[in-house]
Amino acid sequence: MSKPQFAILRFAKYKGPEISNIESHNERTKENYASNPDIDKSRSHLNFHLITPQRKYRAEAEKQIVEAGCRVRSDSVRVVEALVTASPEFFKGKKNGEVKAYFQEALDFIREHQDPKTIISAVVHMDEKTPHMHLSFVPLTEDGRLCAKEIVGNKKKLTRWQDRFWEHMVRKYPDLERGESASEIGRDHIPPRVFKEMTRLTKQKAKLEELLAGVNAFNAKGKAAEIGAFLDKYIPAVEQMHTTLKKYNTAFTVTTAENKKLKKKTEQLEQSLDKATQESTLKKLADAKLHRDYEDAVAVLDRIPKEVLAAYTHRTEKERETAYGR
């Protein structure tokens, strides 16, 4: 199966002297980066800004804090940095313009949820293994307080940020998935990647059915080797699909329970229904079909003749014994 592609958003908080360190890294002001071997200086010219800093990070932060009239302690967080990226697989084959569009979309999202005036810098690094954006901002609240805790301060807030980020990005990039922490709150979006994999599995199922259709009591032993070789690929594919679908258990709980009702509702869809309602209903039907296709892929295994199954089981047991040196 193809690897999942995740939308990634992380935050880090900085109080004082370390602000200069992240600036040096983000803005590439050092000549050498011995501590970070991932940086390929021959590619540093490909880095670009979506927002160029007007002054040093610390100076800009202090300026905004003074203008807001905030109380500041020595341990106050003055700069929050958002790291935006995606799985390496997402960027494969993408041109520089497409990469830039992804980070521009991410920047648009952050501007929706944090005052754009507080953003100090947004720079994209193309000279490391995976393209990523460092976006630094002063954690000023809507009412002008310096409070990183209120903006990104606890696990619940971070989860909400990441949920909203994925919800925003998936509109334009439907193959993107929410990170693993989403399993704590359930998922209601099954990415196109899974449907593509199920299409391949369904084609494999059709091939297996074709092989089984030609089996009878007289040729079962002769066909066992051919079918066994096919099962070596088919069974792992079914198991992998089972693992994948477990991640989307919430979606399937809904679609399976409502399947009959949804079919009836779809038949009754009229012009009077708005487009959003139609799309929602059709999406649930597609999810339900995905589940049924998986169940069909498993069910075909029950139709394997016992002679063929016995030969396959005997062969795999012998292979295991050989592998363990028995």
pLDDT tens by residue, 31-50: 665 556 778 888 999 999 99
* SS3 state at 176: strand
- Kindly state the tokens that stand for 164: 């909203």
**Mean pLDDT lowest for which of 74-88, 118-132, 162-176, 189-203?**
189-203
pTM above 0.85, yes or no: no
Phi, psi (rounded to 5 degrees) for 173: -125, 80
Pair 16, 78: CB distance under 8 Å: yes
Mean pLDDT computed over 55-62:
96
CB of 124 closer than 8 Å to CB of 171: no
Give the C-alpha separation, 255 to 276, whole Å: 18
CA distance 13 to 80: 5
Across 69-73, 199-203, 306-310, the highest mean pLDDT is recorded for 69-73
Angle 306-323/220-246 helices, nearest 10 degrees? 70
Burial zone of 233 (CB within 10 Å; 0-12 exposed, 13-18 middle, 19+ buried): exposed
What is the β-pairing status of strands 79-86 and 48-51?
unpaired
CB 105 within 8 A of CB 29: no
Write down the pLDDT at residue 316.
60
Helix (H, G, I), strand (E, B) or coil at 12: strand
Q: Could you report the per-residue pLDDT of 163-210, keeping only the tens digit for each?
A: 899 989 998 998 888 765 444 434 455 666 677 777 888 888 888 888
Strands (E), 115-214: 119-125, 132-137, 176-177
Average pLDDT over residues 104-131: 96
Residues in CB range of 22: below 8 A, 6 or more apart: 12, 14, 57, 79, 81, 134, 136
316: left (phi over 0), alpha (psi -120 to 50) or beta: alpha
Q: What is the pLDDT of residues 217-226, one digit of tens each?
A: 777 777 777 8
263-287: pLDDT as tens digits: 454 444 444 445 555 555 556 556 6
Run of H or E including 59 = helix 57-68
